[in-house]
Amino acid sequence: MGVLYPCFCTRKDIAAEIARSPSAPHGPDGVLYPGTCRRLSAAEQRVRIDAGEPYALRLDVQAALGRVDAPLTWYDRHAGKVIAQPESLGDVVLARKDVPTSYHLAVVVDDHLQGVTLVTRGEDLFAATHLHRLLQELLGCETPDYEHHPLLLDEEGKRFAKRDTAVTLAGLRADGVSPDEVIETLRTGRMAWTTSARA
User: pLDDT digits over 160-176, tens only?
Assistant: 777 777 677 787 788 88
Q: Categorize the per-residue pLDDT at 64 as very low, low, confident or very high, splitting at 50, 70 and 90.
A: very high
Active-site hit among 12, 97, 158, 162: 162
Per-residue model confidence (pLDDT) at position 70? 81
Q: How many residues does the chain have?
A: 199
Considering the segment(s) 4-149 as one domain, its CATH architecture is 3-Layer(aba) Sandwich (3.40)
DSSP 158: P
Stretch 127-132: mean pLDDT, rounded?
A: 96
Per-residue model confidence (pLDDT) at position 55? 95
- What is the amino acid identity at position 132? H
Beta partners for residue 56, in sequence order: 7
Mean pLDDT taken over the chain: 86
Query: Which residue from 76, 185, 188 is spatially nearest to 133, judged by alpha carbons?
Result: 76
CB 5 within 8 A of CB 38: yes
Q: Evaluate if pTM is beyond 0.75.
A: yes
| Per-residue pLDDT tens digits for 69-107 | 989 999 999 999 999 999 999 999 999 888 889 999 999
**Over pLDDT 90: what percentage of the chain?**
56
More confident residue, 109 or 179: 109
Catalytic residue list contains 162: yes
Per-residue model confidence (pLDDT) at position 22? 67
More confident residue, 152 or 195: 152
Per-residue model confidence (pLDDT) at position 198? 43
| Per-residue pLDDT tens digits for 32-49 | 788 889 999 999 999 999
**Alpha carbon distance 26, 42 (integer Å):** 28
Per-residue model confidence (pLDDT) at position 191? 64
Listed by start position, the domains of the chain span 4-149, 152-199
Per-residue model confidence (pLDDT) at position 65? 96
**Alpha carbon distance 143, 13 (integer Å):** 36
